[in-house]
Chain A
Amino acid sequence: MSPSTATRASILNAIRRARAGADAVPDAPAAYQTPAALLGGIEQFCAYAGEEAATSERVERMDDVPSAVLRYVTGQDLAMRVVVGADLELDAAAWATAQALQRVSGPVERDGDTLVTGCYAGVAEAGALIMLSSSGEPNEAKFLAATHIAVVRAADIVPTFEALWTRLRGDFTDQWPRTMNWIVGPSRTADLGVPSKLGAHGPGRVHIIIVDA
């Protein structure tokens, strides 16, 4: 037996021995039910994300996204160069409405880049964006960018974590995505005093575009 296997056995045995003679372990209760009064939708999502310094806006269709991105980038006085994630379902024609933008497909290199991505979902109870790794997408991009513009469909915003698990379990049975990142607003730190400073290692700006259709 290799040392690690022997250690494994001894640890597991120690755990089992400790349980011997103890009361039977009860079954898991049913999933937690959030009281109805606390449940929220898109308004709650935007409000909570906003409290964590993420801005948000709603557009009608996916085709409206490029002009919304251009509006945001101009309004924030950012460079026209935007890195667009492969997971964003927009064809080249849609970008025609935002020709001033200099679109590149990644990777995020310079710390000053604006990254535009899609999202798997949003969770209203925390104002959180849910993002999954995918084969086309470098996962670290959304942490290296200085500004992150996240596009999420209204229908993909769920009220609670439990609702998120239901969706995920429906979409993935055997192999889960390699990473799932929950993101609430820009990165921050309180290690240099309060109030917290934004842009600790991850993005210092997060803007959410919610697509109704």
Chain B
Amino acid sequence: METTSRQFKQLSLDALANATLQNSLDGVREIMPRIRTAALAERGDFEALCDRAQEIRDRAIRQLDTHLEEFERRVQAAGGTVHWAATGEEACQIVVQICRDVGASQLIKSKSMVTEEIELNDALEQDGFAVTETDLGEYIIQLRGEKPSHILAPSLHVTLEEVAETFVEHHDIERSAPLTDATEMLAEARSIMRDKFLQADVGITGANFLVAETGAVVIVTNEGNADLTASLPDTHIVVTGIEKAVPTLDDVGVLLRVLARSAIGERLSNYTTFVQGPRRAGEATGPENYHVVLVDNGRSKMLGTEFQDMLRCIRCSACLNHCPVYTAIGGHAYGSVYSGPMGAVLTPAFAGLPAAVHLPNASTFCGRCEAVCPVRIPLPSLLRRWRQRELNARPATDGQRIGLGLWRGLNRWPPLYNFAVRLAAIVLRSLSVPGRGGQRWIRRLPLVGAAWTDFRDLPAPTGHTFQDEWRRRKS
């Protein structure tokens, strides 16, 4: 997977300096936790549902082969074709070939993280196909040539004024007045999109779940765009990660209960669609051709490793919405289609740790992500595992390794430790000046200490250690 995560530090500084982005993120930070809490209050069994959701997803990924085979059998029995792609490139080639085979020229797409991950639109456009995103947020960023900044709200970083500018620039419409009203913009987008829906030869969707019991692909939206994408064109292609399979409809019911509540504080999204296959004999409409592309791209490699639990993810984005780091810098800073805590675990797995090393490190381990994850992924522990891998890969002369070794050594001998702490207390105290509240403060520290004092003051220590004081008192 291609990423720009190496530039995390600069990207995050850019994000912090972006006032309109910060405004949107303030909204996420304040509102999303509140609406989730309100939604949960209605269901006294929400924790029990999450326990069950965890069990379902855990069992599903541990028997993924069985479920994928059963799913495949049923899709084939319904007249569809199932393709297997080991890598993103293979998946793109398969989709491109299908489009060539049906002589397509106009393609429409509904939102799918995995298609962003494998950069499908680029591959299609390089082969001469015109692709239009139908999810409004994705459509907006497609026009602007930008990447998504949030799993559910890809255009979170775009203001209404910017949307208007973008529409005016790209929509060939005679205007008598400036475009300012959101309702007008929606009507305009709906009308433009309506033409695309009706003219498209191929519709590409993702999948939220694959149901082995019936061979159904489950697609969840609020706009209804996936449904039109899946039903109007002659060819419907589903692109999905392999880990989305679950055994039964009962499993899907539980997962749907926790998905929308965790994501946007709703009982259910406006549209939940189960698709079995192509048009049947006797049906008036529906796609003639139905393809499901199962994408591995690093997922099976995670099975049997300490990162297996990450495959439970149902892409609800609750972890993003509750993360102090994500809500400070937004999705683009991560340099990856997967951002926030889930992205910090997944990106190193898909793109390799060296490219993504900042992501697991830029975390306070506050644990809110794990607390709100409906399938109970131990995200901080998984981030810690990445840190462990990264640390072990550094040479023994690395500064942090040396520092940690010193600290370990100090802790072996209490007298040595006490001496060091006593010394630090005295030195820090000596650097302090009087300040508010009758306290003393350190305004500036040299070297590594500047990373603290460039941004905040440091209270001064009392000047002697507790252990010294205790010993004096007891003697």
| CB–CB A135/B283 < 8 A | yes
In the complex, A61→B288 CA distance in Å?
Answer: 39
| CB–CB A7/B273 < 8 A | no
B194 contacts across to A, CB distance below 8 A: 111, 144, 201
Q: A15-B65, A135-B282, A140-B227 are in contact. Are A25 and B59 (CB under 8 A)?
A: yes
Q: A10-B86, A192-B160 are in contact. Are A179 and B276 (CB under 8 A)?
A: yes
Which residue in A16, A165, A181, A192 is a CB contact (below 8 Å) of B136?
A192
| CB–CB A201/B190 < 8 A | yes
Which residue in B43, B86, B249 is a CB contact (below 8 Å) of A168?
B249
B40 CB to nearest chain A CB (Å): 12
In the complex, A203→B194 CA distance in Å?
Answer: 12
In the complex, A17→B31 CA distance in Å?
Answer: 44
A38 contacts across to B, CB distance below 8 A: 43-45
| CB–CB B228/A143 < 8 A | yes
| CB–CB A12/B69 < 8 A | yes
| CB–CB B270/A22 < 8 A | no
| CB–CB B273/A181 < 8 A | yes
CB-contacts of B44-93 with A (<8 A): 44-45, 49, 52, 55, 59, 62-65, 68-69, 78, 83-86, 90
A107 CB to nearest chain B CB (Å): 8
| CB–CB B268/A128 < 8 A | yes
| CB–CB B267/A161 < 8 A | no
| CB–CB B272/A182 < 8 A | yes
| CB–CB A32/B280 < 8 A | no
Question: Is A91's CB within 8 Å of the partner chain B?
Answer: no
In the complex, A138→B287 CA distance in Å?
Answer: 11
B interface footprint on A81-119 (CB within 8 Å = 1, 0 otherwise): 000000000000000000000000001000100000000
| CB–CB B273/A182 < 8 A | yes
A186 contacts across to B, CB distance below 8 A: 270
B182 contacts across to A, CB distance below 8 A: 192-193, 197
| CB–CB B224/A201 < 8 A | yes
| CB–CB B224/A19 < 8 A | no
| CB–CB B253/A179 < 8 A | no
In the complex, A126→B63 CA distance in Å?
Answer: 30
Q: A15-B65, A178-B277, A191-B153 are in contact. Are A140 and B231 (CB under 8 A)?
A: yes
A185 contacts across to B, CB distance below 8 A: 270
| CB–CB A191/B86 < 8 A | no
Question: Is A71's CB within 8 Å of the partner chain B?
Answer: no
B interface footprint on A12-44 (CB within 8 Å = 1, 0 otherwise): 101111111010011011011011011000000
| CB–CB A32/B49 < 8 A | yes
Which residue in A16, A143, A178 is a CB contact (below 8 Å) of B65?
A16
CB-contacts of B17-54 with A (<8 A): 27, 31, 43-45, 49, 52
CB-contacts of A130-169 with B (<8 A): 133, 135-140, 143-144, 160-162, 164-165, 168-169
A176 contacts across to B, CB distance below 8 A: 214-216, 276
Q: A140-B285, A193-B160 are in contact. Are A162 and B253 (CB under 8 A)?
A: yes
Q: A12-B68, A15-B65, A187-B223 are in contact. Are A200 and B190 (CB under 8 A)?
A: yes
| CB–CB A35/B45 < 8 A | yes
Residue of A nearest to B81 (CB): A4
12 residue pairs bridging A and B, Cβ less than 8 Å apart: A4-B84, A11-B296, A15-B68, A18-B300, A20-B304, A136-B284, A160-B253, A169-B249, A179-B274, A180-B216, A191-B136, A193-B182
- Other 7 A-B pairs with CB < 8 A, given A14-B303, A18-B308, A192-B186: A19-B304, A111-B190, A111-B194, A161-B257, A196-B222, A200-B222, A201-B193
